[in-house]
Amino acid sequence: MFEILSEKLSKVFRGLGSKGKLTEKDIDDALRQVRLALLEADVNFKVVKDFIARVRERAVGAEVLQSITPAQQVIKIVNEELIATLGEGQSRLVPSAHPPSVAMLVGLQGSGKTTTTAKLALHLKNSGQRPLLVAADNHRVAAIEQLVTLGKQADIPVYNEAPTVASKDICAHALTEAKRLAATWAIVDTAGRLHIDEAMMEELAELKRELKPDEVLLVVDAMTGQDAVRVAEEFHSKVNLTGLILTKMDGDARGGAALSIRWVSGVPIKFIGIGEKVDALEPFYPDRLASRILGMGDVLTFIEKAEKTLDEQQARELEKKVRTASFNLEDLLSQMKEVKKMGAFGQLIEMLPGLSQVAKRLPEGMEEKQLKKVEAIILSMTPEERQNPSIIDGSRRRRIAQGSGTKPQDINQLLNQFRQMQKLMKMGIDGKLPRNLMGMFK
């Protein structure tokens, strides 16, 4: 996610950090590079213009120019303005006072709408809700079959009828079934189109009038950039959206849609899709995404994933070690098998401060190979070295490299990255920015 943008911003911040005191010209030069990076990431021009103006207004003030750490202050401002652009706090689903609540998912074909419908239902189920999936896409028989299959995989009931039945009738019958099942949410998959047209919008508007949903969520492909923003504006003007779900975020190396769509459309992002599996849906947190864009990781999401995968005792121990910055190489080794259950290794290490740059350097399919290499290095250490890596000197590095079939520089790289991760993890989980932000842009 955001690989290209993150790398370019890191380069800008490294340049600022090398200057010591900053002048107004230094800031203007840096912001010119930030503006180019955002435009190249396909961020909407108006969004970029407004963002740069806000950052500059704050960055040329006395708080920055007279600070003893001006570069860190600039990064702090960029982080805060990124959060503001992405929508400040988390935007949650708003349930009905009288269940079942109804969420109507809309979007173009190819955006991942049907899969996302099932993902949202599973997310609600895992949150203690009782969802019912409703296959109301009677324009595409395959969509009905797909939703039924996904429902079986997630053990979630699916209401469906013959494609010849009108969507509004299917939904009316589904709500009756939802009440019978005591479902708390009915998640409705509506028909998508290859392009936006009046007939499509009128059909959706009519369905909305009949259904009276609590949520109207647009599923949009993040990788389409400015097209995603245009689609969101069109749908919002016609059916009054309550939220957005950005799919294929794991493949979005630029980030233009995520950074533009909330600001331009005024509609909050509520979830992001980060993979093809039915559990690959995350609630959207603007502060966490800003942190990922700036290469600071996302420890809170990492811990949440751990809590879902590990047993309660393991999760508690892991969180305690992270909070007290006592997570050592022995712990890393013992957790590796568990960590692999939590998802793609590359995505996971992206969430850990100090290791996000490692994830970007991993070629596709290299995650497992890299994991085995790390395991081999740690297994070649003595228990004392794993508990206290600071004792590893030159001769120990050579011994560990020989034992693991690696090079001494591989040992150095792992130790440096681990020290950085260990130092920043506690700050990340407490929701604080590290005092020395420049450490993340080495």
Query: With contact defined as beta carbons under 8 Å apart, do 54 and 81 qualify?
Result: yes
Q: Establish whether the linkage from the previous residue to 70 is cis, with ω within 30° of 0.
A: no
Nearest CA among 254, 428, 430 for reference residue 439: 428
Residue with tokens 């202050």: 73
Spatial separation of the C-alpha atoms in residues 351 and 159, rounded to whole Å: 37
Q: What residues are paired with 101 via a beta bridge?
A: 185
Query: With contact defined as beta carbons under 8 Å apart, do 62 and 279 qualify?
Result: no
pLDDT at 380: 94
- pLDDT tens digits, 195-241: 778 888 888 899 999 999 999 999 999 888 888 889 999 999 989 99
> What are residue 227's phi and psi, to 5 degrees?
-60, -40
Helices (H), 18-44: 24-40
Spatial separation of the C-alpha atoms in residues 437 and 13, rounded to whole Å: 10
Exposure letters 204-229 (e unless 16+ CB within 10 A, then b): beebbeebebbbbbbbbbbbbbbebb
Nearest CA among 44, 35, 79, 89 for reference residue 264: 44
pLDDT at 346: 57
Burial class (CB in 10 A: 0-12, 13-18, 19+), 152: exposed
Spatial separation of the C-alpha atoms in residues 206 and 203, rounded to whole Å: 5
Q: What residues are paired with 281 via a beta bridge?
A: 273
CB atoms within 10 A of CB 176: 11
- pLDDT tens digits, 110-128: 888 999 999 999 999 999 9
Chain centroid offset of residue 337 CA: 23
pLDDT at 414: 87
Query: With contact defined as beta carbons under 8 Å apart, do 154 and 75 qualify?
Result: no
pLDDT at 431: 47
SS3 (DSSP) at 178: helix
Spatial separation of the C-alpha atoms in residues 50 and 5, rounded to whole Å: 18
pLDDT at 322: 63
**Residues in the chain with pLDDT values less than 50:** 354, 362-366, 429, 431-442
User: Which domains are seen in the chain, by residue range?
Assistant: 3-86 (1.20.120.140), 101-293 (3.40.50.300), 299-441 (1.10.260.30)
193, two tokens? 């189109």
pLDDT at 105: 96
Spatial separation of the C-alpha atoms in residues 154 and 139, rounded to whole Å: 24
Name the pTM for this structure.
0.71
DSSP letter assigned to residue 437:
G
Spatial separation of the C-alpha atoms in residues 371 and 352, rounded to whole Å: 15
Spatial separation of the C-alpha atoms in residues 174 and 169, rounded to whole Å: 8
> What are residue 319's phi and psi, to 5 degrees?
-65, -40
Type of residue numbered 97: A
Nearest CA among 197, 190, 183 for reference residue 218: 190
